[in-house]
Amino acid sequence: MASTSRAARSQNANLSQATQQPVREVDAKVRAILNYILDHTAQKIPIKDKDLLAAAGNKNELKERLPLVSELLAQRFGILLTPLDATSKTFICTAEEPVASIHELTSAQRPQFTLLCIILMYIFLRGNRIEDSKLYGILELLNIHPDEEHGYFGASVRKQIEETFVKQQYLKRERSQLSAYDDPKTFFLWGPRAKAEFTFEQIVKFASRLLNQHPKIFEHHLSMAQEGLNAE
C-alpha cells in the first residue's frame, strides 16, 4: 500500500513538472502578457506578477510563459524584463541599449533626465549614499529649489525625487537611526533601474562636463563605486 502511495506521489510530481514546462509557442496568453508589459513600460513603474495574472489566467500559466515573453521582449523590442532581486515577484523593464545622448530624448523627457543625472551624480560623488537634506542643499546651490517651480525642471522637484524617481526605482530611499535619542535620517541611493540603465563611467562624463573638471579627477570616486557594487 505504501509502495503504491509513493508511486502515485511520484507520478503526480512528474505530471506536475511536465505541465510546468516553459511554453515555446506564442499563444493568446503570451500575447496578452506581452501587450500588458508594452503598454506599461513608458511609465517606468515596476510591474508585479499579480498585475499579469489577468492576462495569464493563473500563477502556473504565468510562470510557464514568462521565459518566452522575456525572450520576445528582448528580441523584438530591445527591452529587458528584470526581476528587482532573486526572489522578487516584481519586475522592471529597461532598454538593452541605454540612452547614449540627451539628444535621443524628446523635449518633454530631457528636463527629468537631466535632473536625474544631477542627482545620480551627487549620490555617486558622496560614496553612493547621500542624506536627503544634503542633496536638497546641493540643489539649492544650483538654484534648484525643491519646493518651488523651476523654469526648466518643472513644478515640484521634491515630488519628482521622492515620488516619481523612487517609484520608478531610479532611487532607493533608506531611513536610519543611530540611537533612540537621535532623529531618523533619510538617505538616497542608486536604485535598481539606475544601476541597469546607467554606468558609473557615464556619470563621470556627465560630472566632468557639468563641473568643468577632467574625468581623471573622479578616478577615486569611480574606484570606490565599483568596489561598492562588487560587494553587493
pLDDT at 20: 58
* Other CB atoms within 10 Å distance of the CB of residue 171: 22
Name the residue range of residue 83's domain.
Answer: 2-95
Question: What CA–CA distance (Å, rounded) separates 128 from 138?
Answer: 15
Nearest to 140 by CA among 122, 125, 164, 165: 122
pLDDT at 104: 72
Same domain, 89 and 135: no
Question: What CA–CA distance (Å, rounded) separates 59 from 36?
Answer: 16
Among 95, 118, 143, the domain-final residue is 95
Same domain, 188 and 116: yes
pLDDT at 67: 92
Same domain, 51 and 143: no
Among 73, 95, 117, the domain-final residue is 95
116 and 165 Cβ atoms separated by less than 8 Å: yes
| pTM for the model | 0.79
pLDDT at 8: 45
pLDDT at 190: 95
Q: Which helix (H) or strand (E) holds 93?
A: strand 90-95
pLDDT at 138: 93
213 and 222 Cβ atoms separated by less than 8 Å: no
Same domain, 110 and 224: yes
pLDDT in tens, 128-158: 899 999 999 999 999 999 999 999 998 889 9
Residue in the structure block whose three cell numbers are 527591452: 79
Instruction: Say which residues have a Cβ less than 8 Å from residue 100's Cβ, sequence separation at least 6.
Output: none
Question: What CA–CA distance (Å, rounded) separates 47 from 49?
Answer: 7
Same domain, 118 and 73: no
Identify any residues that bridge with 172 across adjacent strands, giving them in sequence order. 189
Instruction: Say which residues have a Cβ less than 8 Å from residue 203's Cβ, sequence separation at least 6.
Output: 117, 120, 121, 124
Same domain, 29 and 108: no
Same domain, 173 and 79: no
pLDDT at 75: 93
Query: For the packed helices 59-77 and 49-56, what is the interaxial angle rounded to 10 degrees?
Result: 100
Same domain, 117 and 71: no
Among 62, 95, 128, the domain-final residue is 95
3 state SS of 107: coil
Total domains in the fold of the chain: 2
Q: What is the CATH number of the domain that holds 35?
A: 1.10.10.1200
H helices of the chain, where?
2-19, 28-40, 49-56, 59-77, 110-125, 132-141, 157-159, 166-167, 192-197, 200-210, 219-231
Cell of 190: 542608486
Question: What CA–CA distance (Å, rounded) separates 54 from 6?
Answer: 36
Same domain, 198 and 214: yes
Same domain, 45 and 125: no
Give me the tens of pLDDT residue by residue for the chain, a chain 232 residues long. 444 444 444 444 444 444 556 767 888 999 999 999 999 988 899 999 889 998 998 889 998 999 999 999 999 999 999 988 777 789 999 988 766 666 677 888 889 999 999 999 999 999 889 999 999 999 999 999 999 999 999 888 999 999 999 999 999 999 987 777 778 899 999 999 999 889 888 888 888 888 888 888 888 887 877 776 666 6
Q: What is the CATH number of the domain that holds 214?
A: 1.10.10.1210
Same domain, 66 and 121: no
Same domain, 8 and 111: no
pLDDT in tens, 103-126: 677 888 889 999 999 999 999 999
Residue in the structure block whose three cell numbers are 544650483: 142
